[in-house]
Amino acid sequence: MTVSNTLTFAVDAVPTTAISNILPFLVDDTPTTAISNILPFLVDDTPTTAISNALSFTIDGINTTSRLFVSLSPASTRTATTLLSREPGIDLTTTGTTNLYAPPTGRSAIIDLVVLRCTAAVGITTPAVVGIGVAVGEDDVYNSQPLVGLTTSDEFFVFPSGGVMVELAALDQLKIGVDTAAIGTSQVVAVDVFGREF
């Protein structure tokens, strides 16, 4: 994939693939035709003046190696809850662990909630028991619990905030652990992790 394929903009409602066609920019409410004037960019929330360093993106909600944010102000912590990661398919009829998210170097994170969305289910009679965490056992962020009622597709289960939980340090790997498999023919969930990085 080349980044040029992603550079399609609408200028006066007319699509264009030439980035020069979207100039001028507004920098502090002052028009400018120099793209260098809007640097720095934020790559994984770290300022950079090299646009080539920012050429990795989030595609369909899946994080690549870097996340690109254009900023006209100094970098700040993300104090608002946001989607940190999305794991599209986890089999709940099999025990095991799956990596969900890790804060980048130099950052830490607080997990506010984790949403499990059932995308497919056949013949589920007993729900899985699932935990979310970093340490072995995967229950130091959210305790293991049965996904009561999550037996058919288009339903979802939310691990809410509450109680004592661990803060994730840089590169700590948040995982989901299926402690007890669901009983039935098949069940797959997508997992969305919401939280704040500091």
Phi, psi angles (nearest 5°) of residue 5: -70, -15
The last residue of one of the domains, among 70, 92, 125, is 70
What was the pLDDT predicted at 44? Answer: 53
**What are the angstrom distances between the C-alpha of 167 and each of 36, 109, 140, 187?**
37, 6, 10, 30
pLDDT in tens, 27-52: 555 565 554 444 454 555 555 554 44
Same domain membership, residue 181 and residue 95: yes
Secondary structure of the chain as H, E, C letters: CCHHHHCCEEECCEEECCHHHHCCEEECCEEECCHHHHCCEEECCEEECCHHHHCCCEECCEECCCCEEECCCCCCCEEEEEEEEEEEEEECCCCEEEEEECCCCCCCEEEEEEEEEEEEEECCCECCEEEEECCCCCCCCEEEEECCCCCCCCCEEEECCCCCCCCECCCCCEEEEEEECCECCEEEEEEEEEEEEC
The last residue of one of the domains, among 70, 95, 117, is 70
Same domain membership, residue 110 and residue 187: yes
With tokens 């969930």, the residue in question is 189
- 8 Å CB contact between 174 and 113: no
Closest to 171 in 3D by CA, of 111, 104, 110, 109 = 104
Same domain membership, residue 94 and residue 182: yes
Stronger pLDDT, 87 or 14, i.e. the higher one: 87
pLDDT in tens, 117-138: 999 999 999 999 999 999 988 9
Same domain membership, residue 66 and residue 119: no
How many domains does one find in the chain? 2
Average pLDDT of the chain to the nearest whole number: 76
Mean pLDDT along residues 135-143: 91
Q: What percent of the chain has pLDDT over 90?
A: 54
Same domain membership, residue 146 and residue 59: no
